[in-house]
Structure 1
């Protein structure tokens, strides 16, 4: 026979299924999360629907002490909010104990990156004598030189690039524009591509996009991702390589060579410095490495 708390949980899940049509996986996750909460409260002689705000805080604190993942506890809080919101709507309770409860902040993980040597190998892999690979090399060089998002890269138009001034005008998230220096190596690769390969790719068609596909249209992000994977395999570089890997390598290597974090923020097009703060870990690791290598008591 179901306990009173478990029976309330099942009634709640039945309503979720009938009204929201949630999947079995989601319903089972809610069942597990709420049942574990009910067991925790039962050990303290508290029925689930009688739980107060401090009881729920104690439970989240217990999960933290037990080493539950922050992402898991965030999901639990979501389940609790829906459950106690349901009880409030049904007037089973008068106050929602989840008010003012906040989910634990998730640890921000650095995306994968490449060493400078790996980047050199990757950039050298495309054959500039091949039409498609000449285009790809220009794209890779430009991506590493500017740290563009892949959507910004594949969507570039001719009027956004000035080889004479050595800059690219990027239209980023929210329509915000920024100017990013291209650099000599990327400029040379881009000029070679524009002079020799681009017209061949277009096949007589007219288009503003800088890097057309083999059909003369704007390339998709997925196509470019597959092209990068291909060159990484040819260069013997293993791991999860994507366009964002080069964007991260751009930021990491700038910091390793002494660039200011705020400069990196502007180049990446981050609206807030807090978004760029994840790269401070890179700078600290580099400082520790330099100290270890060069300090007499390192």
Structure 2
């Protein structure tokens, strides 16, 4: 027999545990409780008390999630929340044995992101028609994407006031409005400076004066525009891979890592939320970040070689 008052009391205790002991954010806390509510609804329908639940019951619950079309990743998240709940019940001595201990999640395939070789990136950039008005702009876009490892949204929102080209950095606003300084390579700086000469011929519309990359209409570019531009250039270059703007970001990180760059520096430059903590930004010197990208990025190695004095070549 289900005791609703007892169940409600347990869930309130669990909520306090997540909030104060686990220090979960409000959104994460809501997600845990929403997923737990799915299990509670199942138990109510089946007439099963929390103390009486078995592994078979939990497996039946998970099978039901699959049957109603819940995605495998969502199933895995729900199962993770269930395990957290039963772990709490063990910690508080409400249960002696954990029925979720042997509960397995769905198999989630891991697909490695598509990566471009340096030669393929060269081929795509070489496919740009520089005789067109947007040619130099598109070249600057691709060099910036690849040289800085930006998300496409970060690129389209890049402002002139956020360029510190003399210092070799750009300021980027990433997910959650978190800002970071990203080293920018001499090659990308050169292409941006060439593009700005063309940009000065475009009349920016009101509220778009500070955007770096402008459309013909004088507004900032959309992510879809960048996506289509890259797709068309890849087709022209004969690249068969299924690529997107994010492919340049993956390639940036892979090529730096293969070149021997510090992994923690790469993660910070990418602005990954899971590691972009205050502690990391405190302990990684910005000059070190810049030296990592300048020394190890293949674009910069080639640029240095091509622009070295004759007696050094």
- Most deviating of 173-182 and 227-236: 173-182
Output the CA distance in 2 between the equivalents of 1:77 and 1:227: 36
Q: Report Cα offsets for 1:119-159 as digits up to 9, x if no partner.
A: 11112221333221110110000000000110000011101
- 1:194 CA drift (Å): 0.5
After TM superposition, the score normalised by the length of structure 1 is: 0.60
Output the CA distance in 2 between the equivalents of 1:73 and 1:115: 30
- 1:78 CA drift (Å): 6.5
Output the CA distance in 1 between the equivalents of 2:274 and 2:73: 27
5+ unaligned residues in a row in structure 2: which ranges? 1-45, 64-69, 82-97, 277-313
Alignment check: 8 A CA contact 2:128 2:233 kept: yes
Output the CA distance in 2 between the equivalents of 1:250 and 1:73: 27
Report 1:106-117 matches (<5 A): 106-117=108-119
- 1:107 CA drift (Å): 4.8
Output the CA distance in 1 between the equivalents of 2:72 and 2:273: 29
- 1:239 CA drift (Å): 2.2
- 1:218 CA drift (Å): 1.0
Matched residue, 1:131: 133
Alignment check: 8 A CA contact 1:131 1:200 kept: no
Matched residue, 1:165: 167
Matched residue, 1:256: 258
- 1:219 CA drift (Å): 0.8
Q: Report Cα offsets for 1:150-193 as digits up to 9, x if no partner.
A: 00000111011122112111111112111111111111111100
Alpha-carbon RMSD? 3.9
- 1:77 CA drift (Å): 9.1
Matched residue, 2:226: 224
Residue in structure 2 matching 1:268, options 261, 267, 270: 270
The 3 A distance-change label for structure 1 pair 72 and 173 is closer
Q: Report Cα offsets for 1:241-293 as digits up to 9, x if no partner.
A: 1100001000010001011211111000012249xxxxxxxxxxxxxxxxxxx
Q: Report Cα offsets for 1:77-128 as digits up to 9, x if no partner.
A: 969x9xxxxxxxxxxxxxxx99896845745433211111111111222133
Determine helix, strand or coil for the equivalent of 1:180.
strand
Matched residue, 2:55: 54
Aligned length: 208
After TM superposition, the score normalised by the length of structure 2 is: 0.57
The 3 A distance-change label for structure 1 pair 76 and 219 is closer
